[in-house]
């Protein structure tokens, strides 16, 4: 049963059990890091003897994946972290849990900015953290005309002291294409793990680290967990931060049901009613603490409006998983904005864009790797809410940037060039003929008269005809006759601009 305490914050307390301190050897957990397109996922594919990588549109890995392999009779767990700049927090999270890291550096591209970032994460962890021992994998050695010594020298310049160059960082040249060097790289991992003397206590209550979490209509809430101590079993009561669960089922990395998961194993945990936060620890038998006062529910924000001469753009962010949402949020919130513009993220969530999201009346809803339901689409049209979706995060950035560039600009629905003036019909009414240069011209619509790009005044169509018959509208390329009302004396060559 859960023990409930009252306090100011949600948290998950460590259980207080008496245990016998018996330690056993556990497999190493290995994180793969490096610059985008340097071959991290291809290397893992070669290690798993698989031909198809789990990859996102455009060839960029965008979710943490965990895989287990066996080499020389011993297990190794790999965490594949995305290499794209947007996912730096996910890389930091991967390094935090790992026993050993492989830093992938492509021989044809050498040390890049994300390579240097990975080195910093591994060698200079946040306060209180420990360095992660790492091995260099110099990839793509099957390519012609390569200079592996240049890559080594660049690594030295980046502060990585390699074996044979006065340092103790092991390295191996590998080819994900041919498999050359891969077995030796796995040997180096097991050797490093032996030096690190990795242990666990089998009598301890199970605990793990949440790598990823998501919710979908078919399976409900799931969490990808790396077991770090004890073991997880079906039926265990667990908590992750403020989220409790009773484990209904477990699946290994091959999506096969299992009864229990041992330390270092990646496992899919089901039984949560809420999506647990990534980066937090899962504990078996932990104590759940609830706040004295529940947080007030978010209230709908007003639509975009100026305040202190600023333009406030209200956003809702949705994604398919916690990791994707974290990356999307970080990218959107760090965008450079036009002067006097402000982005206000009023809500972030996991799952499909729903009509409930639209009812908040934001200016824009951004969906990363999720779509919008029919009800959401229909309601968005009614409330003039813009929905942007894509499988690629930087496509969303471009859509948002293009949208912001259009703020404050007049939307031109039609442009009519005056070809002839046939005279006046009393007062300020004039009979003219013209051709629709772009968009469309509708009967009874208002316009601005422009001459040489400058506005001279306004007017309205009294009657619109095409081929001597009354018309409701005339589209681009069509010629028409018009009876218009305007105080401006129209001339041939003028343009009537319809907004």
In a domain, 300, yes or no: no
Domain identity same for 66 and 146: yes
Q: What is the pLDDT of residue 86?
A: 62
| Antiparallel, parallel or unpaired: β 100-106 and 24-25 | unpaired
DSSP codes of every residue in 366-398: EEES--B-HHHHHHHHHHT-EEEEESSHHHHHH
Q: What is the pLDDT of residue 429?
A: 93
Q: How far is CA 243 from each of CA 10, 121, 236, rounded to the nearest angstrom? A: 9, 29, 14
Instruction: Name the one residue in this structure whose structure tokens are 């790396």.
Output: 226
In a domain, 452, yes or no: yes
Q: Tell me the C-alpha distance between 112 and 121, whole Å.
A: 15
**Helices (H), strands (E): how many in the chain?**
9, 33
| Antiparallel, parallel or unpaired: β 414-424 and 473-475 | unpaired
Find the CATH number of the domain harbouring 355.
3.40.50.10050
Mean pLDDT, rounded, for 54-58? 44
Question: In the chain, pLDDT over 70 holds for what percent of residues?
Answer: 84
Dig out the tokens for 421 from the structure.
Answer: 């003036």
Domain identity same for 243 and 326: no
248: closest CA among 262, 269, 265?
Answer: 269
Q: Tell me the C-alpha distance between 313 and 303, whole Å.
A: 8
Q: Tell me the C-alpha distance between 420 and 481, whole Å.
A: 9
Residue-wise pLDDT for 208-239, tens only, equals: 988 888 887 788 899 999 999 999 999 999 99
Domain identity same for 216 and 185: no
Domain identity same for 177 and 87: yes
In a domain, 216, yes or no: yes
In a domain, 363, yes or no: yes
In a domain, 19, yes or no: no
Long-range contacts of 302-305 (CB under 8 A, 24+ apart): 302/361, 303/361, 303/362, 303/363, 304/363
Residue-wise pLDDT for 432-446, tens only, equals: 999 999 889 999 998
Query: Who wins on pLDDT, 382 or 303?
Result: 382
Q: If pLDDT is split at 50, 70 and 90, which confidence band does 202 have?
A: confident
CB 329 within 8 A of CB 318: no
Q: Tell me the C-alpha distance between 154 and 150, whole Å.
A: 6
Domain identity same for 275 and 419: no
Domain identity same for 368 and 488: no
Q: If pLDDT is split at 50, 70 and 90, which confidence band does 14 have?
A: low
Domain identity same for 31 and 157: yes
Q: If pLDDT is split at 50, 70 and 90, which confidence band does 90 have?
A: low
**Residue 366: domain span:** 306-405
* Total domains present in the chain: 4
212: closest CA among 369, 4, 358?
Answer: 369
What is the Cβ-side half-sphere exposure of residue 152, based on CA atoms within 13 angstroms? 16
Domain identity same for 324 and 455: no
Tell me 321's DSSP state.
Answer: B
Find the CATH number of the domain harbouring 214.
2.40.30.10
Residue 316: CB atoms within 10 A of its CB come to 23
Residue-wise pLDDT for 459-482, tens only, equals: 999 999 999 899 999 999 999 999
Domain identity same for 36 and 172: yes
Domain identity same for 177 and 227: no
Domain identity same for 191 and 215: no
Residue 31: CB atoms within 10 A of its CB come to 28
Residue where one domain finishes, among candidates 197, 212, 247: 197
Residues 6+ apart with CB under 8 A from 201: 19, 21, 22, 23, 24, 229, 230
Residue 439: CB atoms within 10 A of its CB come to 16
Residue where one domain finishes, among candidates 268, 291, 314: 291
Q: Tell me the C-alpha distance between 73 and 62, whole Å.
A: 31
Query: Who wins on pLDDT, 457 or 60?
Result: 457
Mean pLDDT, rounded, for 269-285? 88
């Amino acid at each position: 049963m859960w023990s409930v305490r009252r306090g100011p914050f949600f948290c998950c307390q460590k259980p207080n059990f008496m245990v016998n301190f018996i330690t056993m050897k556990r497999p190493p957990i290995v994180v793969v890091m490096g610059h985008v397109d340097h071959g991290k996922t291809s290397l893992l594919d070669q290690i798993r003897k698989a031909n198809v990588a789990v990859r996102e549109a455009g060839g960029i890995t965008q979710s943490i994946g965990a895989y287990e392999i066996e080499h020389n009779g011993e297990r190794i767990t790999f965490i594949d972290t995305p290499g794209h700049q947007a996912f730096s927090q996910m890389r930091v999270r991967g390094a935090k849990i790992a026993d050993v890291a492989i830093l992938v550096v492509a021989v044809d591209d050498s040390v890049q900015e994300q390579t240097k970032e990975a080195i910093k994460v591994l060698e200079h962890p946040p306060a209180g953290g420990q360095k992660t021992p790492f091995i260099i994998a110099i990839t793509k050695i099957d390519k012609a005309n390569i200079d592996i010594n240049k890559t080594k020298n660049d690594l030295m310049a980046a502060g990585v002291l390699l074996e044979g160059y006065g340092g103790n960082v092991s390295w191996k040249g590998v080819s994900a294409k041919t498999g050359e060097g891969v077995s030796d790289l796995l040997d180096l991992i097991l050797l490093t793990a032996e030096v690190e003397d990795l242990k666990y206590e089998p009598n301890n209550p199970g605990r793990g680290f949440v790598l990823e979490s998501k919710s979908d209509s078919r399976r409900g809430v799931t969490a990808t967990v790396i077991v770090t101590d004890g073991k997880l079993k079906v039926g265990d009561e667990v908590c992750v931060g403020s989220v409790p669960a009773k484990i209904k089922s477990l699946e290994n990395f091959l999506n096969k049901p299992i009864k229990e998961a041992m330390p270092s194993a990646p496992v899919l945990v089901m039984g949560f009613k809420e999506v647990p936060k990534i980066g937090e620890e899962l504990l078996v038998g932990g104590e759940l603490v609830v706040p004295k006062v529940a947080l007030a529910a978010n209230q709908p924000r007003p639509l975009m409006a100026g305040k202190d001469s600023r333009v406030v753009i209200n956003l809702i962010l949705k994604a398919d998983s916690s990791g994707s949402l974290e990356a999307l949020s970080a990218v959107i919130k760090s965008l450079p904005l036009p002067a006097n513009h402000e982005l206000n993220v009023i809500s972030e969530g996991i799952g499909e864009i729903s009509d409930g999201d639209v009812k908040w009346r934001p200016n824009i809803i951004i969906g990363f790797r999720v779509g919008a339901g029919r009800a959401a689409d229909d309601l968005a049209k009614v409330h003039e809410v813009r929905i942007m979706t894509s499988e690629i995060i930087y496509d969303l950035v471009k859509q948002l940037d293009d949208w912001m560039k259009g703020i404050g600009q007049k939307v031109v629905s039609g442009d009519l060039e005056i070809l002839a003036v046939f005279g006046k019909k009393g007062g300020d009414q004039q009979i003219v003929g013209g051709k629709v240069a772009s968009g469309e011209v509708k009967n009874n619509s208002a316009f601005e008269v422009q001459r040489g790009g400058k506005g001279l005044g306004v007017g309205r169509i009294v009657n619109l005809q095409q081929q001597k018959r009354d018309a409701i509208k005339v589209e681009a390329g069509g010629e028409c006759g018009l009876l218009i009302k305007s105080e401006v004396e129209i001339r041939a060559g003028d343009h009537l601009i319809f907004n």
